Chain A
Amino acid sequence: MTYTMDGWQEPTLAENLERAGVSRRDFLKFCGGLAAAFAAGSAVMGSLPRALADPTPGAPVTGDQVADALGSVTKPNVVWLQLQECTGCMESALRSGGTTVEDVVLNLLSVNYNELVMAAAGDSANSVLDQTNASDHILVVNGSIPTKDNGIYCTIGGKSAEAVLRESAEHAVAVLAVGACAVFGSVQASRPNPTGAVGVDQIITNKPVVNVSGCPPIGEVIMATIAYYLTHGDVPKTDAEGRPMFAYDQRIHDSCPRRAHFDAGQFVRSFDDEAARTGWCLYDMGCKGPSTFSPCPFVQWNGHTSWPIGAGHPCLGCTEKDFFDRFTPFYNRLPQVPGLGVEATAEKVGLGLVGLTVAAVGVHAGVTAIRKSAARKNHEEIPLEAFGDSPAGEQSAIAAVVDMAEEIPPAAPEASDTTPTTDSEKTE
């Protein structure tokens, strides 16, 4: 543990950075790099836009100017909403660790409204929200917006989540949707989406929304997105899903430490088998790494302690749209495509998988919907043993019941004979 105080102690960024051991020379170098972005007219927080608002027209902004402006910047105000959600994203943000320059920069924020940690409650909290909403601020949103039935499924201060979001977005200079719920709706939006939950960019359509996806996103990635805006003066470049490229430009599969085992056709066939202990590829156990863009292998979790595949579990694909519908059953293998296991075609394979998954899941969902309507009539009074309704010993094995026809057809990968698992240990 460290006991250094990383909060805002000096009045300006320059002084805080100096205290954190960042020299003036390094700071100037950093600002020189930012000058181009600022000269392009990007939005910048706090007093910086005013400081740079009236340079000589056409004249380039210099690193010195940026340094002077950034050095005197006051803390940007932040409204951090939690809508229809589980607070996992805030918890993840709390876990973001380290005492780096990045951390110092993050302490520049004045988070005036966040229900999990703020001191004020009730009327006082609502006043703080109204006041912060009235001028420029960064808006961070956790959680989805339930749109059905006039917004009755999530209200705050008597207002619908949608109304709260719209009010907070009006004067926001940047909107960050943080977490699978805020980005895509996530678990409550998965079928049949009973409350009509949608992501932030379905509601806020008049300004760009940066989508920090993941269930939850890695704490450091949440904080880095805010830091990116603060230091670059603009929102990060994003992919087609609105996710920052600095964190979501690579498939897990392409940067996975177990990739060599995939290419060699070395697969875990059953949890806790010798292949699992050796750290072979989890593709056959349902890993969604080939279809998932996420920085997990690089950044890892909780102070670089581990990450899901590192701890032996297949990736659930939680940074991807509608993963609770598209990627379930979670332990089913992604669809088989020809050429698997050959490095030269891996890129093609990966791209193919994304498309095939969508198609396969579409079919799967249709079949399930039909089965569902039939099943609704058949399971009404299932007895539960604790209530004395169920005969003891009903657990005796009965023949297989799952209609595998509705599942994505599994097929063994090529070169699977190199696995150390014996046939009896295979799960299929």
Chain B
Amino acid sequence: MAQQVVIDPLTRIEGHLRIELETDAGVISNAWSEATQFRGIETIVLHRDPRDAWAFTQRICGVCTTVHAIASITAVENAIGSNVPQQALLIRDMVLASQEVQDHVIHFYHLHALDWVDVASAATADPAKAVAFAEQIGSTWKGNNIDRMTAVRDTVANLIASGQLSIFTGGYWGHPAYKLPPEANLMAVAHYLDALEFQRTMIKINTVFGGKNPHPNFLVGGMACTIDPNHTASINQVQLADIQQWVKDTLEFVQTCYVPDATAIVGVYKEYFDIGASSPNYMAVGMSGATFGGNPNQTPRYPTPMMDVKPGVIVNNDFANPQPFDPTLISESIGSSWMSYAGGSQTLTPDKGETTVAYTGPTPPYEWLASATDGKYSWCKSPRYNGMPVQVGPLARVLLAYSQNHPRTKELVDGAVATLGITLDQMNSTAGRTLARAVECLTSAEMLANDTLPLFIKNLQGGDISVFDPSKWEPSSWPKKASGYAFVEVARGNLSHWVSIENGEISQYQCVVPTTWMTGGRDENSQMGPYEVSLAGDGKHPLVDPTQPLEPLRTIHSFDPCMSCAVHVLDVDGQELQVATS
């Protein structure tokens, strides 16, 4: 007898996600992915100054802060023909890289780890054994010592003894699906706290160049932060020395703490390489941080190692034959979303995209959404590539890099696959997505440390201090009509912004966002979206105790959902917001 299970709020994600499930005999038999927040920013950016759009679109998300801003200015620059100096592009690359690494670290430790780590168990651990465990898994992190482990254990023990568990209140402690030994749990809690401290340092690169984080400042045509070795008010050797140290610290943390922890955890929970498989199709335009103003198949504005991997799509796990990427094959379905398209169409390409709200769900409070007779249950649209659901994000990028024989990625993936005794196909799984994110974080940190920052410094030493193209700043220098777009590979996957400008104002604006690709529900052909496939695609996903949905949390968190991004819907056709509430 199938039982209905609702997970709402689905916590430890960005924004508001509701998952409805049917379970039967300990496995999930059906699933619905439901976005429950809508902000309507699409109607808000219309008719504004395109140079302001980054500030609006950046507010789509404060976790993916910076990425929407960079996509926005790049799209506008593509439209108006700015010639952005290379040093400004390198600054943006450093901002993107540091944001991505910080984002992956926060995701693993603060949003995902508690799915695998039993905090209560850590209170019973032997600190010496925790240090030994860290050594055993190859973690050489400097925080691994008995004093530190003892202090953390005492903290957890005191917290539990106080009866006020703060953010750990109501967790599923003692659930039989928790398998780590106490000493591993203790080590992980210690690293959870270290990561909190670490991310504060890591993100300072954003602050030097953008003045703040979250939501640093950007500029169409370049960057507003001046660089000049001979002015105190410009970024000079004082800040560069700091940045070099932060980048070094970042690489050290990722190498000695994050990667060993992630590898060890997926090793202990190896059965999750057979759980949570989603769509076997993957799409990316390069490695993380790859940024294109215009068509990603054309020559980039300057060569970076992030673009050593070419845009491509892997279809049906055929890793040997990645297909060329064709942006015209992207469409967005409203099969399950509370939207309507003119003329009753169910799917549109993004350039013709519309956002007309047509809510047919129940008036809150409500108990169940998935049984609506019109099949609508979410604010999120369902993007498709050539009609197929695809996965984007770290897994897609790592697999695409692997399929193109990117040396460092291949070395890391082959090593992990051999150690874990899994096949490449099994990377399409809950554990595989978590592992891929760690692999990618390492390659990103390495490229930041070994390529991007050294090139920026070398250019600076050679006297290249230009960071802004003033020639296209004034609207009078723009064409009367122009359109442009940008693709950026950001922490959660492939992001694109599309803008049309007319008479100096935004006449059309649209984003196609990573989490939309993954969160969207069924399309007009009743094909499930990637989250839904991962939970109910094979009828084998475990859910032992419906009151403690630990197993589906693991799978959904492995995607790193960002719901405010998913339901940004900036596709603009200028129509007034229309609402039809039933």
Contacts and interface: CB of A to CB of B under 8 A. Distances in A.
Given A125-B9, A271-B470, A397-B477, A85 B564 contact: yes
B179 to A, nearest CB: 17
A10 interface: yes
Given A150-B364, A163-B364, A384 B40 contact: no
Nearest to B327: A386
A124 B12 CA distance: 13
B119 A119 contact: yes
Contact of B475 (A8, A195, A270, A402): A402
Interface stretch (B202-210, B426-434, B517-525): B202-210
B152 A84 contact: no
Interface string A387-411: 1111000111111111100000000
A87 to B, nearest CB: 5
A272 B468 contact: yes
Interface string B526-550: 0000000000000000000001110
A375 B500 contact: no
Given A121-B9, A272-B467, A160 B197 contact: no
B224 A312 contact: yes
* Interface size class of chain B, counting residues whose CB lies under 8 Å from the partner chain: 35 or more
B370 interface: no
A128 B361 CA distance: 27
A119 B500 contact: no
Interface in B164-218: 164-172, 193-194, 196-201, 203-204, 206-217
Contact of B214 (A88, A121, A394): A88
Contacts of A278: 231, 233
Given A95-B203, A95-B213, A128 B479 contact: no
Contact of B215 (A3, A88, A115, A118): A88
A75 B162 contact: yes
Interface stretch (B44-52, B307-315, B396-404, B435-443): B44-52
Interface string B36-58: 11111101101111011001100
B234 A279 contact: yes
A91 interface: yes
B201 A401 contact: no
A324 B39 CA distance: 15
A191 B217 CA distance: 22
Interface string B495-525: 0001010111101100000000000000000
A401 B475 contact: yes
B249 A1 contact: yes
Given A87-B62, A330-B55, A303 B503 contact: no
Contact of B7 (A10, A121, A308, A314): A121
A396 B479 contact: yes
Interface in A1-35: 1-3, 5, 7-11
B55 A86 contact: no
Given A89-B62, A194-B43, A277-B228, A309 B211 contact: yes
Nearest to B198: A1
A423 interface: no
Contacts of A390: 483
Contact of B59 (A8, A88, A379, A395): A88
A267 interface: no
A208 B60 CA distance: 29
Nearest to B43: A194
A157 to B, nearest CB: 5
Interface in A141-181: 146, 148-160, 163
Interface of A: 1-3, 5, 7-11, 74-75, 77, 82, 84-92, 94-95, 97, 109-128, 146, 148-160, 163, 186-188, 190-192, 194-195, 197, 215-216, 218, 270-273, 276-279, 296, 301-303, 305-314, 316, 318, 324, 328-331, 368, 371-372, 375-376, 378-380, 382-390, 394-403, 425, 427-428
20 contacts: A5-B193, A9-B151, A75-B162, A91-B65, A95-B203, A121-B11, A128-B169, A153-B38, A155-B36, A155-B37, A194-B40, A216-B215, A270-B470, A271-B222, A276-B226, A302-B200, A305-B242, A384-B485, A398-B478, A398-B479
Given A118-B12, A302-B204, 5 more contacts: A118-B171, A124-B172, A306-B212, A394-B479, A427-B473
